[in-house]
Amino acid sequence: MTTDAELLALFARTNSEAAFAELVQRHVNLVYSAARRQVNGDDHLAKDVAQMVFTDLARKADSLARRESLTGWLYTSAHFAAAKILRGETRRRDREEKFMREPNCETAPAADWEQLRPMLDGAMHELKETDREAVLLRYFENRQFAEVGAKLGLNENAARMRVERALEKLRTAFARRGIVATASLAAVISANAVQTAPAGLAAALTTASIAGVGAGTFTLLKMMTTTKIKFSVGALAVAGAVLAFVLLHQSQEKLRAENAVLAQQLAQLQTVNENLFNRLAAAGDSKSLSADQFDELLKLRGEVTLLRQQQKVLPVVAQLKMNNSSSAQIIQIHLKARFVSFPADGLQALGVSWATGAQGGKIGLLTEQQFKIINQALHGASDVETLAAPEVVTSNGRQTQMRAIQSASVGGEPVEVGSYLDVVPNFLTNSLTFNLSLIAALVQLTGDPSKPGAQVIGATNQVTLSPDQTVVLENEIPSGGWLPDSTNIPAGPRSLLVFVTPTAVDEAGNRIIFPPTNQ
């Protein structure tokens, strides 16, 4: 069997989703169970903790690939991630500290799982890393002593002794918390410490964790087909939240760097401008100059004119960029989207210059005139179906979600199907461009109409475009899917087209026109 280290090294080298998915599948039960205990049984928070852990694993894949076993690292990472999420909830910590300061003098009852569960992870993290790793491998993953020894570089007997010593230290840690752990401690932990994670969670974590690394500019989510839509939409939401957080952080760091560059540019322009004017003053009357000197003087005057034009823009941009909100308080962004079901064999006729993503699908940029022509053609075509046309005005840099959904019954439960678009828009005032972080998805019914399932077709992208441009995303729509109110359109291979047009507006909704920069 391929080791954890080999799988992680393969992912670090090739970004292999299959290798990472195998790692997640191996360890998701351990991470999810540890997280769930530490967030007081809250499934949603446990999934958030698991997402943070595996996203961190994907980000640090190269450095962690030298570890023979990831079990201890993942367990500790889950501990710290859960603590971070629950930092504001201090009641449990206070209660544990009270037990540690004031041990119960009365004989405590024999430990059962309900007593151990709230204290287990805190006690585990009082052990040294080597002892904790031994307990995890033996009682959390239920490995034989020979396997534990192979992971820790020990023989079977040495592994047995280390596990027994670590178990005694764990009993001592429980005793400080007022719990008498009997000889059944090992059996209780082995039977209860790791539960099966929710179905499909491993696949969702794999997709979202790789997306959360944010290494590429265009990554399509593979289609996820399930019998119940509740999980599919939940996975999409997790992916959207993680990706949006990472991309927003990257955008903020980029804006800080741009501020520094802009300040340097202004200083350089002022210095150059002063030098040019000094040279002009020293030249004196142009009539007394030679032909070559006069040509040079005209050239210098042209440079001065160009600098003056640039200085009309740069101080305004600097004022916006030096704002604490990085212009978020000044600029709002109007987003207009359109979801279209389009014949796959007609894509070439649209005249879009498509770029292909690493995992399939396409992306293109349209000028304002191109989009108008395509929009008119789509309106008049009988084999084209507009699925949704949402629009919203949001603050610069703030995540927003646009939905066009309706309720349908799947497996006897009401679910939401239709179009989703998560966007983190940034208008970059120094370059006068938009940076959009997009997660687009279409949730359709599929299968037997009397007992339908659901499918999600989605795309995750980060794209930079100029004002007056529209970005269009394309992905294949699998056959057999439909929406409750779909029109009767011809059969055949179809594509999902998602058009997104951003516009910078002021607080009153009026379009903002910035003076162009001259390079």
Alpha helices in 91-142 (DSSP H): 91-101, 113-116, 120-124, 129-135
- Give me the pLDDT at residue 229, please: 41
Name the average pLDDT for the chain.
74
Which residue's entry shows tokens 């100059």? 289
* Tally of CA atoms within 13 A in the half-sphere of 510 that contains its CB: 4
- Give me the pLDDT at residue 469, please: 92
- Give me the pLDDT at residue 213, please: 60
- Give 389: exposed, middle or buried? Use CB within 10 Å, 0-12, 13-18, 19+: middle
| Measured distance CA(394)–CA(391) in Å, rounded | 10
| Measured distance CA(206)–CA(18) in Å, rounded | 9
- At 519, the pLDDT band (50, 70, 90 cuts) reads very low
Residue 440 has pLDDT above 50, yes or no: yes
Which residue's entry shows tokens 């030679």? 290
Q: Please state whether 397 falls in left (phi above 0), alpha (psi between -120 and 50) or beta.
A: left
Q: Which residues pair with 467 in a beta bridge?
A: none
Helix (H) or strand (E) run with residue 272 in it: helix 229-283
- At 211, the pLDDT band (50, 70, 90 cuts) reads low
Q: Among residues 432, 431, 439, 437, which one has the least CA distance to residue 503?
A: 432
pLDDT, tens digit (0-9, with 9 covering 90-100), for 65-98: 888 788 989 999 999 888 887 774 555 455 445 5
Residue 246 has pLDDT above 70, yes or no: no
Q: Among residues 304, 318, 302, which one has the least CA distance to residue 267?
A: 318
pLDDT, tens digit (0-9, with 9 covering 90-100), for 108-131: 344 478 778 888 888 888 888 889
- Give me the pLDDT at residue 250, please: 61
The two tokens of residue 412 are 């006897």
Flag the least confident range among 191-205, 334-348, 428-442, 479-493. 479-493
| Measured distance CA(124)–CA(485) in Å, rounded | 55
Please tell me whether residue 127 adopts helix, strand or coil conformation: coil
CA 147 to chain CA centroid, nearest Å: 36
Please tell me whether residue 112 adopts helix, strand or coil conformation: coil
- Give me the pLDDT at residue 500, please: 94
Residue 501 has pLDDT above 90, yes or no: yes
- Provide the 8-state DSSP code for 287: G
- Provide the 8-state DSSP code for 200: T
pLDDT, tens digit (0-9, with 9 covering 90-100), for 371-420: 988 888 887 777 888 888 888 888 888 888 888 888 888 877 778 888 88
Residue 228 has pLDDT above 50, yes or no: no
Higher pLDDT, 416 or 230: 416
CB 379 within 8 A of CB 419: no
User: What does the domain layout of the chain look like in residue ranges?
Assistant: 4-198, 214-232+330-505
For residue 506, count other CB atoms closer than 10 A to its CB. Answer: 11
